[in-house]
């Protein structure tokens, strides 16, 4: 099939590349011309494990190409995927203006029948609104499909190639068969293809994110209880995760969830509920507990140093919102850095892949280390914000030698408190007595 993908961010680039890998001819479009120029040279615009090899192969085999010309791409495609960002408006709702803009552009350049597949996240009714607006702009026939994306950054290629399920909201049986055929190569292990109406498909995405956010927030609430009651949330988590009714994912307590999806989708859903005259107490609570977890973590660092924080040099390990991505959007580390900078501390940060982005974001307000131990030189404390693998078993002797004060604030519970104590560190983690 001939496919165009509008938006080459984390979702569009992964979707376009993986679809090309099953034999389709895919043209990816972006309004960011620099991004397109880099992609044409085979240079990734994002860090995503496994993507580069797939991208290069599919460019070489002429199944995958890039353009900033929406008209050129749409002219050659039956299916047009919309994968543009839907960030938060000031009131918390999804800002679907870029998505609507992309759809309007497609409508203006369409020269015949097209299937418009919306992968961007928005409230139920978004795709119906897109269809209504497109009908105002074009006389050509088209169908719309909702196909929410459930990939996780850091494992996005694997998630796309081996999804837990495919959700398709669609009103036309022939279009549904086309979507079924498109996804058949990814569902050979028997995972379900779930067909439903447009609004239910949109709602499914929001419900999944709400559920994941709530799980983390429940564990963060228990982390607070554990601290007060002298219990260890790591043991509690293991007991909870072993329950077959619950499972192990998204139960790790810490400094809270971040990223470009969970926080904004939970808040947007709550704001949208309010607009509908409904209450969404659980969603609001999930967001509030998450915010409180981060504030508690920052508060612990601040109260440890007191006013003297202004004379301290603090090392940060990990700045992305999760490991195996370079995405800094909504990363808790940025709030930690901002709070410590605001209190006058000097920051020396290290991240395995986001160093350049971090330097671009903060300029000379922070120092960005090229290697993890470099960040520790003369540090008065280390704050761990992301659980990159390389931080899990560090050389404690080397750390102790490099640091001025042996203090670690661990937002991801990577270490055993007794081990750190034996190595002469003051160690603060989350929810452990």
Ligand X SMILES: NC(=O)c1ccc[n+]([C@@H]2O[C@H](COP(=O)([O-])OP(=O)(O)OC[C@H]3O[C@@H](n4cnc5c(N)ncnc54)[C@H](O)[C@@H]3O)[C@@H](O)[C@H]2O)c1
Q: Where does this chain bind ligand X (CB under 6 A)?
A: 6-12, 29-32, 35, 83-86, 98, 101-102, 105, 119-121, 149, 151, 153, 260-261
**H or E element, residue 269:** helix 262-275
Are 385 and 412 contacting, i.e. CB atoms less than 8 angstroms apart? yes
Active-site residue (options: 28, 170, 261, 269): 261
By the 8 A CB rule, do 132 and 104 touch? no
CB of 373 to ligand X, least distance (A): 31
Q: Is 261 a catalytic residue?
A: yes
Minimum CB distance to ligand X smaller for 149 or for 221: 149
Helix (H, G, I), strand (E, B) or coil at 185: helix
Given a contact cutoff of 8 angstroms between Cβ atoms, the answer to whether 350 and 317 are in contact is: yes
Question: Which of 150/193 has CB closer to ligand X?
Answer: 150
**Is 15 or 226 the residue whose CB approaches ligand X more closely?**
15
Scanning the structure block, which residue is given the tokens 């552009």? 105
d(CA 13, CA 8): 5
Residue 101 CB, shortest distance to ligand X, in Å, is 5
Nearest to 112 by CA among 78, 161, 154, 64: 78
Nearer to ligand X, 147 or 290 (CB): 147
Q: How far is the CB of 115 from ligand X (least distance, A)?
A: 18
Residue 94 to residue 266: CA distance in whole angstroms: 10
- Contact between 348 and 287 under an 8 Å Cβ cutoff? The reply is no
Task: Report the C-alpha gap between 310 and 48 in whole angstroms.
Answer: 37
- Return the residue nearest ligand X (CB atom): 9
Minimum Å distance from CB 165 to ligand X? Answer: 14
Which of 116, 117, 125 is closest to 93 using CA atoms?
125
Opening angle at CA 330, ends 325 and 333, nearest 5: 80
Per the CB < 8 A criterion, the answer to whether 384 and 318 are in contact is yes
Q: Which is nearer to ligand X, 152 or 295 (CB)?
A: 152
Residue 107 CB, nearest approach to ligand X (Å): 12
Nearer to ligand X, 105 or 367 (CB): 105
Tell me the closest approach of the beta carbon of residue 358 to ligand X, in angstroms. 17
Q: Decide if 429 contacts 410 (C-beta within 8 A).
A: yes
Q: What is the layout of strands, in order, in the sheet containing 346-350?
A: 367-368, 346-350, 313-317, 381-384, 407-410, 426-428
CA distance 85 to 215: 25
Instruction: Give the residue numbers annotated as catalytic, written as ranges.
Output: 261
């Amino acid at each position: 099939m001939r496919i165009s993908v509008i938006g080459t961010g984390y979702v569009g680039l992964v979707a376009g590349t993986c679809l090309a890998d099953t034999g389709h001819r895919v043209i990816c479009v972006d309004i960011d011309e620099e991004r397109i120029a880099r992609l044409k040279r085979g240079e990734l615009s994002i860090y995503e494990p496994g993507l580069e090899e797939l991208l290069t192969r599919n460019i070489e085999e002429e199944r995958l190409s890039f353009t900033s010309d929406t008209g050129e791409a749409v002219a050659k495609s039956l299916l047009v995927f919309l994968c543009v960002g839907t960030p938060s408006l000031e009131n918390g709702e999804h800002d679907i203006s870029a998505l609507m803009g992309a759809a309007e552009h497609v409508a203006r350049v369409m020269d015949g029948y097209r299937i418009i597949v919306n992968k961007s996240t928005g409230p139920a009714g978004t795709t119906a609104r897109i269809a209504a607006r497109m009908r105002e702009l074009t006389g050509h026939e088209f169908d719309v499909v909702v196909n929410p994306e459930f990939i996780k950054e850091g494992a996005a290629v694997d998630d796309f190639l081996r999804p837990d399920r495919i959700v398709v909201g669609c009103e036309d049986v022939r279009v549904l068969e086309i979507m079924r055929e498109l996804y058949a190569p990814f569902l050979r292990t028997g995972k379900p293809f779930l067909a439903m109406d447009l609004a239910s498909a949109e709602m499914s995405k929001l419900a999944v994110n709400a559920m994941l956010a709530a799980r983390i927030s429940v564990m963060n609430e228990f982390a607070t209880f554990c601290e007060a009651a002298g219990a260890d949330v790591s043991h509690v988590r293991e007991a909870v995760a072993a329950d077959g009714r619950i499972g192990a994912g998204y139960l790790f307590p810490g400094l809270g969830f971040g990223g470009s999806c969970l926080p904004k989708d939970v808040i947007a859903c709550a704001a949208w509920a309010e607009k509908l005259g409904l209450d969404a107490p659980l969603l609001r609570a999930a967001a509030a507990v998450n915010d409180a977890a981060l504030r508690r973590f920052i508060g612990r660092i601040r109260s440890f140093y007191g006013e003297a924080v202004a004379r301290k040099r603090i090392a940060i390990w990990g700045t992305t919102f999760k490991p195996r991505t370079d995405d800094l959007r909504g990363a808790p580390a940025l709030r930690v850095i901002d709070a410590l900078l605001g209190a006058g501390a000097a920051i020396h940060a290290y991240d395995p892949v986001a160093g350049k982005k971090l330097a671009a974001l903060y300029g000379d307000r922070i120092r960005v280390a090229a290697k993890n131990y470099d960040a520790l030189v003369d540090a008065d404390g280390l704050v761990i914000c992301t659980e990159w693998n390389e931080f899990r078993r560090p050389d404690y002797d080397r750390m102790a030698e490099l640091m001025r004060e042996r203090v670690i604030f661990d937002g991801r519970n990577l270490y055993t408190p007794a081990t750190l104590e034996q190595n002469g560190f003051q160690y603060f983690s989350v929810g452990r007595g």
